[in-house]
Chain A
Amino acid sequence: MKGAIRKDEYYVVIFGCGRLGSRMANWLSTMGCSVVVVDRSEESFQALSFEFTGFTVLGDATELDTLKEAKVDKADVVLVLTPDDNTNLMVAMSAKEYFKVARVVARAYDPNNIEMFSDFGIEVICPTLLAVENIKNVLYFIGGDER
């Protein structure tokens, strides 16, 4: 029953245990969330800190069995953070459409892909656009506030 879930007991599944995925996993874990990290490389789990209290699942995120093993159907939030936009779209769509996860957040490197993700109700984080915004801010700061 999703309404009865306490904030500190969110069940979060993260796909991709790279720099971003592992940091998110460590942070969510210290916040008290129940976290499962999925990656196809066992070595990647070494990036998880000692404070990480969740589970790791070794497997290919594009395979349905891996999503089932991670219990995506029970997730309150799914974060799709692999380095590949196509993989992220496929996994995020499965989580949203097949497993009916309420909140799915995915990373899209290419700003041209954002619309595709949004069409399926997937929330998108685009590092390229975030970097552009940051650089703009830095340049405005150097040149004086021209906004």
Chain B
Amino acid sequence: MALVYVVDDELNVRRIIKQTMENEGNEVSAFVTAEEALEAVEKRQPDLIFMDLTLPSMDGVQFLKELEDRAYSIPVVVVSAITSPESIRALFKLGIVDFLTKPFTPQELRQAAELSFKNEESLQKRARDIRRLIEEREFRKASSLLREFFADFPSSPYPHFLYALLIKSSNPRVAAKHLRAALSLDEEFKEASSELRKLEE
């Protein structure tokens, strides 16, 4: 069961997403404004956020930037009536997982959610695989997988952390930089702070 947040000022949309996601066995909380949602994120981090772009006060783009500034790496699916290619491209650059145009079908919602969960699972699995290669001293393979990992998850702290592990013995100064980058993306990343402490000693 995943925790899903819905941020939309339209009651209909909040209800549809809540109903569909609850039918899938998820826990869903709905919010009218981005400010309310941010407050909730601070208290309890969700596994997925469905969000409209046009919101009262803080809009969807500002909300995404705010999440980034606060170093949260939460999958976000945008649901909006805005369909200009420029806006959609800009949103993907901000790291959204998927974009659904209104009206959307329950199947589209489910697929978007599955994609987000799969992305998260795939991130964890790839991180484990690369780490194993580093531990087994298969540096060339690890390096090649890491390049793709960076490209696929640019806003995740894991690629930086793993890169630091890969180069820490040959280039501790750059490794420390990457550990700091990982920590700036996730302040709570304990392994990264422990590795950084070791390097700084």
Name A's B-contacting residues (CB within 8 A).
Answer: 1, 4-6, 8-9, 11, 32, 34, 36, 52-55, 57, 70-71, 74
Q: Which of A5, A8, A52 contacts B23 (CB 8 A)?
A: A8
7 residue pairs, one from A and one from B, having the closest CB atoms? A55-B103, A9-B106, A11-B105, A53-B15, A36-B103, A74-B105, A34-B106
B interface, size bucket: 10 to 19
How far, in Å, is B175 (CB) from chain A's closest CB? Answer: 47
Query: Quick one: closest A residue to B83, CB to CB?
Result: A69
Q: Does B170 contact A (CB under 8 A)?
A: no
How far, in Å, is B52 (CB) from chain A's closest CB? Answer: 13
Distance, CA A124 to CA B103, complexed state (A): 26
Contact A55 B107 (CB under 8 A): no
B-side contacts of A53, CB under 8 Å: 12, 15-16, 19
Contact B107 A11 (CB under 8 A): yes
Q: Mostly helix, strand, loop or mixed at chain B's interface?
A: helix
A-B contact pairs, 18 of them (CB 8 A): A1-B107, A8-B23, A9-B23, A9-B106, A9-B107, A11-B106, A32-B19, A34-B16, A53-B16, A54-B16, A54-B103, A55-B13, A55-B103, A57-B103, A70-B103, A71-B104, A74-B107, A74-B108
Given contacts A11-B105, A36-B103, A71-B103, 16 further A-B contacts (CB under 8 A): A1-B107, A6-B23, A9-B20, A9-B106, A11-B106, A34-B16, A34-B20, A34-B105, A34-B106, A54-B12, A54-B16, A55-B12, A57-B103, A70-B103, A71-B105, A74-B108
How far, in Å, is A75 (CB) from chain B's closest CB? Answer: 8
